[in-house]
Amino acid sequence: MYDISGYYEAETVAEATALLAKNPNLRLIAGGTDVLIKMHSGQIADAELLSLRKIKSLNTIRKAEDGTIVIGAMATFTKVFNDPILREMIPILTEAAISMGGPQIRNIATIGGNVCNGATSADSASSLFALNAQLKLEGHQGERLVPIRKFYLGPGKVALQPGEILTEILIAPDDYQGFGGQYIKFAMREAMDIATLAVAVVCKLQAKTFAEVRIGLGVAGPTPLRCLEAEEYAKGQEISAQTVAEIGKLAVNSAKARTSWRASKDYREHLVEELVQRALKKAIVNAGGEELV
């Protein structure tokens, strides 16, 4: 039994933002796989919920004319995984989607909800970080675009202003075209688990060198993060096992790992170094490069 004192459903974004403006206590609910768990554990009580599930426009995934990939915030993980555009263009996101929970959870959980929950372990987050995703936030007064790296403020804290709703996730053509990528979720189980470390790497090659490398990490700090030092180093470097090893080492500098009962700092940093290398090696092949031995 959940402690729900009110429940509203909107059919359009405008209707939803209007309801939010009128009643700032409303809490948004998408798939409910995070909100209801918080209610079960007593973190949220006496809730007035505003459901977004009837807003059809938030459910689509498309490629805009300029090549921008537009993912509706209410797209479920199952939908993300099965979407032919995403599979072809940004498989690191579809691979992240299928790594999440189990089939029942993926059928109801949404990518927007996953991002707005603000967890460092959000399965979609490291890929969206590596892809430089932009988030479209709409409120009663208008809309704005926020880069995902600016959206995560701390554990469970995101840059959503009161009255705002995340409506779309956008990935610009420059950020994915010509890139190869790889996603690795390292967890204690092969399903139904939270990542010990999530690594998403994309790279673009130029002859025998790295034109660009972007590395997104989940659960390597209080929020998902990027390994900017390693990325900066990679630019223009020769594609070699040595370079990849150095990128792995430098990635550790950006991680903010700490010891908890789940894993030690030492082990987490070792995983960052190892898995960034593994992901990058695959990403090179996916970007058209030769396999490093």
Based on the shown chain and the rule CB under 8 A, indicate whether residue 246 belongs to the binding site for another protein: no
Give the nearer residue to another protein in terms of CB position, either 6 or 147: 6
Give the nearer residue to another protein in terms of CB position, either 125 or 272: 272
Cβ neighbourhood burial of 292 (10 Å; 0-12, 13-18, 19+): middle
Based on the shown chain and the rule CB under 8 A, indicate whether residue 42 belongs to the binding site for another protein: yes
CB-based contact 154:259 (threshold 8 Å): no
Based on the shown chain and the rule CB under 8 A, indicate whether residue 24 belongs to the binding site for another protein: no
Give the nearer residue to another protein in terms of CB position, either 145 or 188: 188
Based on the shown chain and the rule CB under 8 A, indicate whether residue 23 belongs to the binding site for another protein: no
Based on the shown chain and the rule CB under 8 A, indicate whether residue 264 belongs to the binding site for another protein: yes
Among 271, 279, 284, 287, binds another protein (CB under 8 A): 271
Distance of CA 254 to the CA centre of its chain: 18
CB-based contact 124:96 (threshold 8 Å): yes
- Compute the least distance from the CB of residue 98 to another protein, in Å: 11
46-105 residues near another protein, rule: CB under 8 A? 102
Joined tokens for residue 160: 């959503």
Contact pattern from residue 157 through residue 196 relative to another protein, giving x for each residue in contact according to CB under 8 A and a dash for the rest = -----------------------------x-xxxxxxx-x
Based on the shown chain and the rule CB under 8 A, indicate whether residue 274 belongs to the binding site for another protein: yes
Cβ neighbourhood burial of 237 (10 Å; 0-12, 13-18, 19+): middle
Stated length of the chain: 293
Give the nearer residue to another protein in terms of CB position, either 52 or 263: 263
- Compute the least distance from the CB of residue 148 to another protein, in Å: 24
Give the nearer residue to another protein in terms of CB position, either 72 or 113: 113
- Compute the least distance from the CB of residue 287 to another protein, in Å: 23
Determine the size of the site formed for another protein (CB under 8 A): 24
Joined tokens for residue 8: 């509203």
Q: Give the residues lining the site for another protein (CB under 8 A).
A: 1, 3, 40-42, 102, 186, 188-194, 196, 261-264, 267, 270-271, 274-275
